[in-house]
């Protein structure tokens, strides 16, 4: 039995369950039974929605049958309701026919609309909350819920947090159906499955997981479903809330899930055998399981030549180390290890620090905190002035601090370069981890010098090795080392040379493509003549 199977075997027989719509509406006081009497049904709805302004009831006649339409004005398009529902009823009213069943009414008036029949008040209320217009007819044992269409949301635009030069420019929006459609448009495969869950006792937010059923590892999929079913909270408003519920129990600053608002990135990970989590109301999608090296890869890596991509990826790893240790190295060297600097450079650095009244650790902590404040202010300020504030603020404060003798010129360069390097990571929340650890390394370097930095880095690596993401070691395929997965880690091999899916996922279909022979140049005319 594989190691991954053993990790999940003890959990397979544990029964889990999610909150059903029946349990939800039982707690809300909604009776389950649907009455044939139209007045009783409308009376129950009025009891439930009497305090909300967006509930509307329109009494109508369909042929010779008394009926009413109930809906919530804030979750559907009223113009579409008028054109698709009210207008056909108004035109067909002159016929004065009697329809024996609700199915006959649908076939006569709404033959092309998406619909569902509801025979309980639970399902009727649930349909209204999801943007359906419900038609109840007197003396009928079920109602007709018509999918009119919701209000228009934000249009599809380029992602704001993960920009690229070459590649698709569309990004996810707040509509779950639109986001799923963006994936369907890229992966036209009947094996692409989307399963739905409802999370939150009060919010009942729709969550969908997407995967390729003929590729995904069943053990990982079962574990994802189990953790989702165990979520017990009042409401979830973003995938960030979901992350905290489903990630492995570890006290760590490193993200154990990968979030993105790029449909091409999600599609690529699904094709690799991973699982995507979509939440209604947010443009950010979670991908699980996640390993450390995922945060150094960008969707654009697969659209540019592999030589250029490999160079840029190495730059990302170097930038991560610069962000992590450059400020602490400055503190350690200027405080304890002067002999590591060339004589001319040492004289220059010490000359600049001659009038500074603070030790190196205080000096660098002041500037680091200043840059963090400017970074946060630039994000929170209105977009028209935020970028100007962060740039001008950094220049003015840095120059003023140097002229006032509070910090040295070299320190400003060190802090500015490490801050710029933190933005190289394609994923924002991963750079936050490096920024947090940087402060710890600065304090350790001020007390123990280079020895403290090296010991701290060793402890960090030990911590990374101990992490798991849905049973997958966080540092794989580096530790444990997997040779077959090295074609897309530190450098990117040509796409035609990378034939397999990540082996650590243990997917049902390990190979992405069959043997591929690169095309050779056609023979020249001289070679043809000689033959």
Q: What is the dihedral of CA 517, 519, 522, 528, to 10 degrees?
A: 0
User: Which residues in the chain land under pLDDT 70?
Assistant: 1-31, 92-97, 151, 383-395, 513-517, 524-531
Q: How far apart are CA 72 and CA 148, in angstroms?
A: 11
Three-state secondary-structure class, residue 198: strand
**pLDDT given for residue 16 in this prediction:** 41
Encoding tokens for residue 316?
């990302």
Is beta strand 285-288 parallel, antiparallel or unpaired with respect to 115-118?
unpaired
**pLDDT given for residue 30 in this prediction:** 61
Terminal-to-terminal C-alpha distance of the chain? 59
Q: How far apart are CA 113 and CA 123, in angstroms?
A: 19
φ, ψ (nearest 5 deg) of residue 157: -130, 175
Are 173 and 179 in contact by the 8 Å Cβ rule? The answer is yes
Within a 10 A sphere around the Cβ of 241, how many other Cβ atoms? Answer: 18
Question: pTM of the predicted model, to two decimals?
Answer: 0.81
Are 142 and 34 in contact by the 8 Å Cβ rule? The answer is yes
Distance from the Cα of residue 67 to its chain's centroid: 44
**pLDDT given for residue 451 in this prediction:** 92
**pLDDT given for residue 220 in this prediction:** 92
**pLDDT given for residue 8 in this prediction:** 43
**pLDDT given for residue 378 in this prediction:** 74
Kindly report whether the peptide bond that precedes residue 480 is cis, defined as omega within 30 degrees of 0: yes
Q: 139 vs 22, 30, 39, 414, 531, CA distance in Å? A: 24, 21, 10, 79, 89
**pLDDT given for residue 14 in this prediction:** 40
Are 119 and 34 in contact by the 8 Å Cβ rule? The answer is yes
The candidate with the shortest Cα–Cα distance to 350, out of 443, 453, 360, 329, is 360
Are 252 and 463 in contact by the 8 Å Cβ rule? The answer is yes
Are 361 and 442 in contact by the 8 Å Cβ rule? The answer is yes
Within a 10 A sphere around the Cβ of 307, how many other Cβ atoms? Answer: 11
- Computed on alpha carbons and rounded to an integer, the radius of gyration of the chain in Å comes to 30
Q: How far apart are CA 455 and CA 272, in angstroms?
A: 36
Is beta strand 285-288 parallel, antiparallel or unpaired with respect to 258-260?
antiparallel
Q: Which residues contact 257 (CB under 8 A, 6 or more apart)?
A: 243, 246, 247, 286, 287, 288, 290, 469
- Per-residue pLDDT of 232-282, as tens digits, reads 888 888 888 898 899 887 788 899 999 999 999 999 999 999 999 999 989
DSSP H helical segments within 96-140, as ranges? 102-109, 121-129
Q: How far apart are CA 85 and CA 430, in angstroms?
A: 49
Q: How far apart are CA 394 and CA 24, in angstroms?
A: 52
Which strands make up the sheet holding 115-118, listed edge to edge?
55-62, 65-72, 132-137, 143-147, 115-118
Q: 354 vs 332, 338, 364, 409, 497, CA distance in Å? A: 18, 15, 15, 12, 57
Give the burial string for 504-525 (b: 16+ CB within 10 Å, else e). Answer: bbbbeeeeeeeeeeeeeeeeee
Q: How far apart are CA 511 and CA 214, in angstroms?
A: 12
Beta bridge partners of 146: 115, 133
**How many CA atoms lie less than 13 Å away from 435 in the CB half-sphere?**
22
Encoding tokens for residue 454?
């090296």
DSSP H helical segments within 187-304, as ranges? 218-229, 239-246, 263-272
Q: What angle do CA 124, 128, 130 make, to 5 degrees?
A: 115
Three-state secondary-structure class, residue 217: coil
**pLDDT given for residue 374 in this prediction:** 79
Encoding tokens for residue 25?
């509406």
φ, ψ (nearest 5 deg) of residue 468: -135, 145
Q: 28 vs 24, 61, 111, 145, 386, CA distance in Å? A: 7, 31, 34, 21, 45
Which strands make up the sheet holding 285-288, listed edge to edge?
192-199, 205-212, 275-279, 285-288, 258-260
Q: How far apart are CA 223 and CA 228, in angstroms?
A: 9
Q: How far apart are CA 175 and CA 182, in angstroms?
A: 11
**pLDDT given for residue 93 in this prediction:** 60
Q: What angle do CA 452, 455, 457 make, to 5 degrees?
A: 110
The candidate with the shortest Cα–Cα distance to 200, out of 244, 237, 235, is 235
Q: 299 vs 166, 264, 295, 303, 324, CA distance in Å? A: 9, 7, 11, 7, 24
């Amino acid at each position: 039995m594989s190691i991954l199977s053993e990790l999940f075997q003890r959990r397979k027989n544990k029964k889990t369950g999610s909150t059903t719509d029946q349990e939800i509406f039982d707690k809300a006081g909604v009776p389950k039974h649907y009455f044939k009497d139209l007045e009783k049904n409308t009376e129950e709805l009025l009891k439930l929605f009497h305090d909300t302004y967006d509930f509307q009831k329109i009494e109508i006649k369909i042929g010779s049958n008394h009926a009413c339409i109930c809906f919530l004005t804030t979750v559907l398009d009223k113009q579409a309701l008028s054109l698709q529902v009210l207008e056909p009823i108004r035109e067909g009213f002159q016929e004065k026919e009697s329809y024996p069943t609700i199915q006959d009414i649908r076939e006569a008036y709404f033959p092309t609309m998406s619909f569902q029949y509801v025979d309980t008040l639970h399902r009727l209320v649930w349909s209204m909350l999801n943007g359906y217009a419900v038609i109840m007819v007197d003396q009928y044992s079920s109602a007709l819920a018509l999918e009119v269409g919701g209000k228009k949301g934000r249009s599809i635009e380029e992602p704001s947090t993960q920009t690229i030069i070459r590649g698709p420019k569309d990004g996810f929006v707040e509509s779950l159906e639109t986001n799923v459609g963006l994936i369907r448009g890229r992966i036209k495969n009947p094996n692409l499955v989307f399963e739905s869950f409802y999370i939150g006792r009060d919010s009942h937010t729709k969550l969908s997981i997407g995967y390729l059923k003929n590729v995904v590892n069943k053990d990982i999929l079962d574990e994802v479903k189990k953790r989702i079913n165990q979520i017990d909270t009042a409401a979830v408003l973003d995938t960030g809330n979901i992350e905290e519920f489903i990630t492995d129990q570890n006290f760590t600053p490193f993200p154990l899930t990968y979030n993105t608002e790029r449909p091409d990135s999600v599609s690529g990970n699904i094709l690799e055998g991973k699982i995507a989590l979509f939440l209604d109301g947010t443009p950010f999608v979670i991908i699980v399981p996640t390993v450390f090296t995922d945060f150094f890869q960008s969707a654009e890596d697969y659209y540019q030549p592999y030589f250029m991509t490999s160079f840029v990826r190495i730059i990302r790893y170097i930038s991560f180390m610069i962000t992590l240790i450059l400020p602490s190295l400055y503190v350690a060297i200027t405080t304890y290890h002067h002999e590591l600097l060339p004589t001319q450079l040492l004289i220059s650095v010490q000359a600049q620090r001659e009038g500074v009244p603070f030790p190196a650790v205080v000096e660098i902590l002041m500037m680091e905190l200043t840059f963090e404040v400017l970074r946060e202010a630039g994000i929170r300020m209105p977009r028209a002035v935020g970028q100007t504030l962060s740039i001008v603020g950094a220049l003015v404060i840095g120059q003023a601090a140097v002229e006032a003798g509070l910090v040295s010129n070299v320190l400003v360069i060190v802090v500015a370069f490490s801050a710029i390097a933190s933005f190289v990571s394609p994923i924002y929340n991963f750079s936050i981890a490096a920024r947090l650890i940087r402060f710890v390394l600065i304090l350790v370097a001020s007390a123990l010098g280079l020895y403290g930095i090296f010991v701290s880095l060793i402890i960090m690596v030990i911590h990374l090795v101990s992490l798991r993401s849905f049973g997958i070691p966080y540092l794989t395929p580096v530790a444990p080392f997997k040779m077959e997965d090295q074609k897309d880690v530190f450098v990117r091999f040509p796409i035609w040379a990378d034939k397999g899916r990540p082996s650590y996922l243990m997917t049902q279909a390990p190979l992405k493509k069959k043997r591929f022979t690169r095309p050779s140049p056609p023979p020249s005319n001289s070679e043809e003549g000689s033959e």
